[in-house]
Structure 1
Amino acid sequence: MPRFYCPAPLATGLALSLPAGAARHVQVLRMQPGDVITLFNGEGGEFDATVTRMGRSDVEVEVGAHHAVEREAARAVHLLAGITANERMDWLVEKATELGVASITPLVAERSVLKLKGERAEKKLAHWQGVAVAAAEQCGRNRVPTVHAAVTLKEWLARAEAGERWVLSLSEGTQGLSAMTGSGPVTVLSGPEGGLSPSEEASALAAGFTPITLGPRVLRAETAPLAVLAICA
């Protein structure tokens, strides 16, 4: 059954117009009045909904039964991920959402190729959040991970709350991910292509990040955080 994110209050029996993006998708699928879809708003569970009207640019539905189903990962993993080049960041956001990431904060690292400021940064953030929404619709999640505004590591550390922290590292003294226990929320820091700079890694370690390794092979910047998510899921 097609699934659509509808960031609005939902309740059984409610009649509403779908958001523009969802309405376009319903029209592309050539759905008709009487067809049933699934709606979720990120507040828990999902709803059946029946298409009642197909307009030229709008779609109206009646919300049906609520199903208290969740498909979240067992552990909340928050990614602080170095911004990668070209389309690789899109791929990272999409796959991280599928693997259950709790949130993503794009990191403007010293070695990041893509630098974001002003209007360009706002457009990229909106685009990445859209990628996360589409991935949540596809994979069955009922909660969409938040993609936060891009920050430098210094900015993130200045406002971060306490909590467990890991940094993916190729340095000596790292621990294997299998040695990390616990079930509480964790922030995972990973670098862009070329990794974190020595000063960034030193700042992370000084701020309480535990250096971890995924094994003897060097994974790409967009692959390594996904491996962590897959293991923690």
Structure 2
Amino acid sequence: MRISRFYLPVKLTAGSTLTPDQESAHYMHTVLRLQKGAQLSVFNGDGEEYTATVLDATGARFAIQLGAVPTSVDRESGLHTHLGLGISRGERMDLAIQKAVELGANIITPLFTERCVVQLNAARKQQRWQHWFKVIQSACEQCGRNRIPELRQPQELAEWIPGQQGLRLLLDPLNGKRLTELSPAAGLVILSGPEGGFSDKERTFALQAGFTGLRLGPRILRTETAALAALAAVQTLWGDLG
């Protein structure tokens, strides 16, 4: 039977006993109803994971003991991918981030674009970042990754584009090349637009900065679909899905 996995951002030491943070403990105890003696798996993002046992699940108390030997399991793709993702609304953005993690993205940068319908002040920007990081955390717990992808702070597209290196792909349903026309690279940057797509100005700027247009078939894909289709395609051709 598959045991539940949990990300705990603390130092993990073989054989030690620890008390998870309140939110994690509540989920383990109240939602999953883990009782004394139950097995689970924990990781902190350093690449290792521990089998753990529930020692105490009495009332508000919840404690676990880590196993004596950690397990190093590398579930990272050999293809390093950085996803620049135009910010979309609510569940669409959450879905895109969640599935990008499952598909092996190493870096995710939310981007403000001309047609972005989401406006965030400084406080809301930090709140959204924290929310998106929890989406990433949960996705890693589910898919088995022991390293947490880097979630960068939301950034203006015009500021983000010049700093990118390597094979840079702009998802362009109108004038892009097909993946079979491109050569693989160790590092890959994928730029995916928001719900309204990129403006002509943004598209031109990206192409002039060294991005190559990528066309994913004859159909227009929604924002959350396009980014995930691109990640799945490059992982199949050049990564670990082939």
TM-score strictly above 0.5 = yes
- Check 1:229–1:23 CA distance in 2 against 1; reply closer, same or farther (3 A cut): same
Which of 34, 41, 53 does residue 50 from structure 1 map onto?
53
Which of 179, 190, 206 does residue 177 from structure 1 map onto?
179
Shift in Å, 1:21? 2.6
Shift in Å, 1:175? 1.3
Q: Residues 92-119 of structure 1, C-alpha deviation per residue, up to 9 Å, x if partnerless?
A: 1111111111121111110011122211
Where does 1:40-119 land on structure 2 (aligned, <5 Å)? 40-64=43-67, 65-119=69-123
Residues 220-229 or 181-190, more deviating: 181-190
**Is contact 1:116-1:150 (8 Å) kept?**
no
Equivalence for 1:39? 42
Matched, 1:139 2:119: no
**Is contact 1:74-1:232 (8 Å) kept?**
no
Equivalence for 1:150? 154
- Give structure 2 stretches of 5+ with no counterpart: 236-242
Shift in Å, 1:161? 4.8
**Is contact 2:166-2:185 (8 Å) kept?**
no
Query: Within 1, Cα distance between the matches of 2:42 and 2:63?
Result: 12
**Is contact 1:52-1:62 (8 Å) kept?**
yes
Query: Within 2, Cα distance between the matches of 1:126 and 1:213?
Result: 32
Runs of 4+ that moved beyond 6 A:
none
Query: Within 1, Cα distance between the matches of 2:84 and 2:61?
Result: 37
Q: Residues 8-31 of structure 1, C-alpha deviation per residue, up to 9 Å, x if partnerless?
A: 121211221112332111112111
- Check 1:63–1:110 CA distance in 2 against 1; reply closer, same or farther (3 A cut): same
Query: Within 2, Cα distance between the matches of 1:58 and 1:229?
Result: 42
CA RMSD, aligned part only? 1.6
Query: Within 2, Cα distance between the matches of 1:198 and 1:165?
Result: 18
- TM-score between the two structures when normalised by the length of structure 1: 0.93
Shift in Å, 1:55? 4.7
Query: Within 1, Cα distance between the matches of 2:70 and 2:230?
Result: 33
Shift in Å, 1:146? 2.2
Shift in Å, 1:130? 0.4
Residues 17-26 or 30-39, more deviating: 17-26
Query: Within 2, Cα distance between the matches of 1:98 and 1:66?
Result: 23
**Is contact 2:113-2:198 (8 Å) kept?**
yes
Q: Residues 13-59 of structure 1, C-alpha deviation per residue, up to 9 Å, x if partnerless?
A: 12211123321111121112221110011111311111112254452
Counterpart AA for 1:5: Y
Count of aligned pairs between the two proteins: 231
Where does 1:16-35 land on structure 2 (aligned, <5 Å)? 16-27=18-29, 28-35=31-38
Q: Secondary structure at the match of 2:222?
A: coil
- TM-score between the two structures when normalised by the length of structure 2: 0.90
Shift in Å, 1:73? 2.5
Equivalence for 1:223? 225
